[in-house]
Chain A
């Protein structure tokens, strides 16, 4: 059976051009970027090339980009690094109720270390309340950390407006841009960003590699101590193959793919909303990530829908409690005020630049029958 991969918010298939670029760094050019000989130089040059591409893509300087093991590490470093740099003079962190678990659980842990954390509310579409943000900033505030493109419901926050507030109030702004990177313009100067978390595996690059942009002059405690790599900020022999792949993935990303995804996304949304009693979670149009669709189907359970879709070769994901490890429903869907039942009846469909019109048609042809069958089985309908 043909497989249709609609879970690109979880991870993406590596682009062939990226893979090709990486391969020789496994064997021929296996050097350690710290070595002074030819092999080392080769690796170092490849790494600096990637750094340059990534820096340029967000209008930063090369020296402001640090490579890490991915989004989780970058987010952990941003929050813990700034907290320990500023504690105990300052101890307040502001984030949102719709940030990724690796931000929220870092904040929860920092609370055990003396941090005070404010979790900002969002509106029904997932947008941060800017007034509440303004009013939450105190003299003790170290940093505001806001997810740029939401991984569950696709909401794109207005970073420029948030950046302006943070600049006026003189606090730092960090954004987790794992989902939005290369899909939504990021300009650290225009948007007043002080720290930005990026990773490769959401953009057809390899897993286990990411980066963080840290504005020049910001004092932050290193996360890993050791041999002094990455200008003494992040020790550990650099993951050259990963970094090379990351750079190439950014290099090959292009606007045409975004436009294509938007069209397919909207075709999917329109088609799904033709089914009765379905609601779209998150905003419509340009404030939504070009690859994200999240919908709740009245009276049927997300995991069950996902299971039937998979039987037809379609891989999606669910925000439903029943499918998660904890049996707690999604904190994001709760934050946009879905009832537990509504949030349990949601699925996320996330496409990529490789998604085709035929795949979309097949999905739209398959879904209504599944919904009908499960609704017939449901005591709620």
Chain B
């Protein structure tokens, strides 16, 4: 098993790691296959057209190199995007941005896209409650 250069870079120098105080949404996902855990925090804001966007995003991950790299990658892909577009980020988008993942590590990228979706859903749920 060998990771791409891009995966190694994101793993060793992850972006957007940590947590957001008072986040607007949190997505917590556990991986049933390997027992790993990923949390994504988001802060929502508005763009010039008054559309909701991901203003800030951070992650915490207990997982392998691929899990950390995919976390870092999805936060970069999502940051600044409209919520409705961020929801559409798939594991293939992550896969492509990372210049590939070993096939046995594909599920790690699921973890990232699911965690982001969950964070956005969490935000929307809270919004509808108030």
Contact = CB atoms under 8 A, between A and B. Distances in A.
Say whether A and B bind each other: yes
Contacts of B39: 379
Nearest to B29: A379
Interface string B89-118: 000000000000000100000000000000
Interface residues of A, number: 23
B64 A301 contact: yes
A337 to B, nearest CB: 16
Contacts of B12: 307-308, 311
B28 interface: yes
Interface in A164-190: none
A266 to B, nearest CB: 30
A320 B65 CA distance: 12
A1 interface: no
A377 to B, nearest CB: 5
- Name the interface size band of chain B: 20 to 34
A301 B36 contact: yes
B35 A340 contact: yes
Contacts of A299: 62
B35 A307 contact: no
B17 A304 contact: no
B42 interface: no
Given A377-B61, A378-B61, A379-B39, A322 B28 contact: no
Contacts of B36: 301, 322, 344
A300 B62 contact: yes
Contacts of A301: 36, 62-64, 67
Contacts, number: 63
B64 A303 contact: yes
A308 B11 CA distance: 9
B37 A380 contact: yes
Contacts of A322: 34, 36, 63-64, 66-67
Of A299, A308, A378, chain B has the most CB atoms within 10 Å of the CB of A378
A380 B28 CA distance: 11
A325 interface: yes
A379 B67 contact: no
A304 B34 contact: no
A379 B38 contact: yes
Contacts of A327: 33-34, 104
Contacts of A303: 64-65
Interface in B29-61: 33-39, 60-61
B14 interface: yes
Contact of A344 (B35, B60, B61, B66): B35
A304 B60 contact: no
A359 B62 CA distance: 28
B35 A379 contact: no
Nearest to A345: B62
A117 B104 CA distance: 31
Contacts of B11: 304, 307
Given A303-B64, A304-B68, A340-B35, 10 more contacts: A301-B67, A304-B63, A304-B65, A311-B12, A341-B35, A341-B62, A377-B18, A378-B61, A379-B39, A379-B62
8 contacts: A299-B62, A322-B64, A325-B104, A341-B35, A341-B62, A344-B34, A379-B38, A380-B37
Interface of A: 299-301, 303-304, 307-308, 311, 320-323, 325, 327, 329, 340-341, 344, 376-380
Which 10 pairs show the lowest CB-CB distances between chains A and B?
Answer: A322-B64, A379-B60, A303-B64, A379-B39, A340-B35, A307-B65, A378-B62, A321-B34, A380-B62, A327-B34
